[in-house]
Amino acid sequence: MTAMQQAIAIIKDEHQSMGAVLKGLQAHVEAVREGRDKPDFPLFQAMFDYIETIPDRVHHPKEDEYLFRLLRLRSDEANVILDELEGQHDVCATLLSSVRKAMASYRETGELAGFERSLQAYATFLWEHMRKEEELVLPLAEKHLTGEDWEAIHAAFQANRSQAW
């Protein structure tokens, strides 16, 4: 596989990991709502910690620093979508903070609906964000980036493999 193919595979794999954690959170909340399970707050906390640590502190910064920056150097074609996505990287942390607050409120009051709505809003936002990266940015990157660019992107994302994905 080329560096480009490997880098794209890693990015998509990381997106799948984020999606799996979100689906796990939603499935547990659904099971609690339906009375099939009791809330596992340590599990919720661990999943939020994963989202905060890996996607927000490892994955998104590498997209900004490598993929997005290099694409901006090679073409203006992606600037509008890259501006939007970079702004969304900042919004992710804010939304996650809202989900954590909604969970704390649920823990105190027993009112699940607000937590579930907050989690759904975050998940919908993140899935749409990842869809835009995969369907809009990656094809533009394939079109405009050089082999050297892909080597740098691959090296940066390959380093993520030492993280706890």
Rounded Cα distance, 51 and 29, in Å: 17
Confidence at residue 54, expressed as pLDDT on a 0 to 100 scale: 83
Averaged pLDDT of the chain: 93
Rounded Cα distance, 33 and 46, in Å: 20
Residue of higher predicted confidence among 53 and 113: 113
Average pLDDT over residues 16-37: 95
Query: Does position 145 have pLDDT exceeding 60, yes or no?
Result: yes
Task: Please compute, for residue 35, the number of CA atoms within 13 A of its CA located in the half-sphere on the CB side.
Answer: 0
Residue 73: CB atoms within 10 A of its CB come to: 11
Position 46 confidence tier, pLDDT thresholds 50, 70, 90:
very high
Query: Does position 7 have pLDDT exceeding 80, yes or no?
Result: yes
76-128 pLDDT, tens digit per residue, is 999 999 999 999 988 988 999 999 999 999 999 999 999 999 999 999 999 99
Domains detected in the chain: 3-157 (1.20.120.520)
Average pLDDT over residues 14-42: 95
Confidence at residue 55, expressed as pLDDT on a 0 to 100 scale: 80
Query: Does position 164 have pLDDT exceeding 70, yes or no?
Result: no
Three-class HEC string of the chain: CCHHHHHHHHHHHHHHHHHHHHHHHHHHHHHHHCCCCCCCHHHHHHHHHHHHHCHHHHHHHHHHHHHHHHHHHHCCCCHHHHHHHHHHHHHHHHHHHHHHHHHHHHHHHCCHHHHHHHHHHHHHHHHHHHHHHHHHHHHHHHHHCCHHHHHHHHHHHHHHHHCCC
Confidence at residue 165, expressed as pLDDT on a 0 to 100 scale: 43
